[in-house]
Structure 1
Amino acid sequence: MKKVLFSLLIVTCFAFSKGEPRVETYNYGQNGMELVARSNKGVIIVSTYNSKMTIRQDIARKLYDLYLANKLQNNKKITVEGSQADVTGKCIIRKKNSLTAVDFYYEVVDWDSGLKEVYASR
């Protein structure tokens, strides 16, 4: 009886395991300003490039929050954890007087469903 329960447990573990994530490439995306905000530091513009339409607003808001918390560095690769997916990309910060532009270039999107999308330029 113990052997039957143990084998049933093992089979169940394999049946519900996620396995390797499926990897796909994409060469399209949305480019543009997602968020314009005023703060005590001046005007901040968050722009995304090669972004996925369904998560671009969420990721832009998270980038803005990271910028306000001083957790973004210029010309560095970062991972932003969104509600539907985690996005890895390069962040470029440009400042001129009281205007700050935060540009984020999507490189990899890890969806919660297990799908992994990698941006590949044409």
Structure 2
Amino acid sequence: MKYLLFLVLISTQLAYSQETILTYRHGQNGMELIAKSKSETVIISTFNAKMDIRQDIANKLYELFKEKKVVHNALLTVIGNKANVLGKCLIKKKGNLTSLEFYYDKVFWHNGVVEKYGK
């Protein structure tokens, strides 16, 4: 009887621990951050963003840019306070103006939920 109860508890835990991916279609697009220094101006725009975390992710993206960890047209994971975001970042430069365009692909919330942007 103990083994049967143990098996039922283990199987329920395994069934509910599987990662489910939710799809969202209505992300927010917009200019999130404008940072000026003596040598350049950086504009960070996010696309397909989740409203709750878009400002935090933009700030973290700017920190990564300052540390030179952002590569043009490569997948990038930005670690935020509420969620981690996987996306693609495009860098455009013209004179002393730099534009970072970050497109959300997946949002890994810290509570275990995974959301993917779907067209």
Which TM-score applies when normalising by structure 1?
0.84
| Whole-angstrom distance in 1 between the partners of 2:28 and 2:116 | 14
**CA shift for structure 1 position 15:** 4.9
Partner of 2:36: 38
Q: Show structure 2 runs of 5+ residues with no match.
A: none
Aligned AA for 1:118? K
The 4+ residue runs of structure 1 with deviation greater than 6 A are: none
- Alpha-carbon displacement from aligned partner over 1:9-30 (angstroms, at most 9, x marks no partner): xx58x75997112211011111
Contact kept in structure 2, 1:92 and 1:104, CA below 8 Å: yes
CA distance in 1, matches of 2:13, 2:24: 29
Q: How many percent of aligned residue pairs carry the same amino acid?
A: 44
Whole-Å separation in 2 of the counterparts to 1:18 and 1:87:
23
Structure 2 residue identity aligned to 1:70? K
SS at match of 1:66: helix
What do you get for the CA RMSD once the two structures are aligned? 2.0
| 1:116 matched residue in structure 2 | 114
**1:40, distance to aligned residue in structure 2 (A):** 4.0
**How many residues are matched?**
113
Residue 72 (str. 1) matches residue 59 (str. 2): no
TM-score if structure 2 supplies the norm length? Answer: 0.86
Which of 18, 21, 29 aligns to 1:20? It is: 18
Point out where structure 1 has 5 or more consecutive residues left out of the alignment. none
